[in-house]
C-alpha cells in the first residue's frame, strides 16, 4: 500500500461516484480513507494530530487531491485539511 507522508491521506473514492452530494454550486464526493500520514511537523518539532483515520468515510470537493494509480486501482492523495466532513454513522 502507499504510505503517505506528513499530513497527507490516501482515499479510495466511492465507486461510480455513488457518494456524490450535489449542492447548488458545489459537487462533493466521498470515499474511504485507506492510509494516513503521521501528521504535519511544526517548526518547533511537534507533530499535529490527524483529523481522520483509516476506515473513515469522508467528504471532499470535486477538484480535491491527486489521482494515484497503484496495483491496478486509482486512489486519491490529499491533505488532511482538504477533508470537509465525516460520513461515519
Please tell me the distance from the alpha carbon of residue 45 to that of residue 54, in angstroms, as a whole number. 24
Residue 16 has which C-alpha cell?
461510480
Q: Which of 8-17, 26-35, 64-73 has the lowest mean pLDDT?
A: 8-17
Domain limits, the chain = 8-70
Fill in the DSSP letter of residue 41: B
CB 48 within 8 Å of CB 39 = yes
**pTM of the predicted model, to two decimals?**
0.86
Neighbours of 85 (CB within 10 A): 12
pLDDT one-digit tens code per residue, 26-46? 788 999 999 999 999 999 999
pLDDT of residue 48: 95
Amino acid at each position: 500500500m502507499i504510505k503517505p507522508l506528513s499530513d497527507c491521506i490516501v482515499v479510495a473514492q466511492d465507486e461510480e461516484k455513488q457518494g456524490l452530494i450535489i449542492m447548488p454550486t458545489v459537487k462533493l464526493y466521498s470515499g474511504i480513507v485507506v492510509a494516513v500520514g503521521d501528521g504535519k511537523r511544526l517548526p518547533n518539532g511537534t507533530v499535529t494530530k490527524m483529523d481522520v483515520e483509516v476506515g473513515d468515510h469522508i467528504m471532499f470537493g470535486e477538484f480535491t487531491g491527486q489521482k494515484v494509480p497503484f496495483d491496478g486501482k486509482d486512489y486519491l492523495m490529499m491533505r488532511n485539511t482538504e477533508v470537509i466532513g465525516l460520513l461515519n454513522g
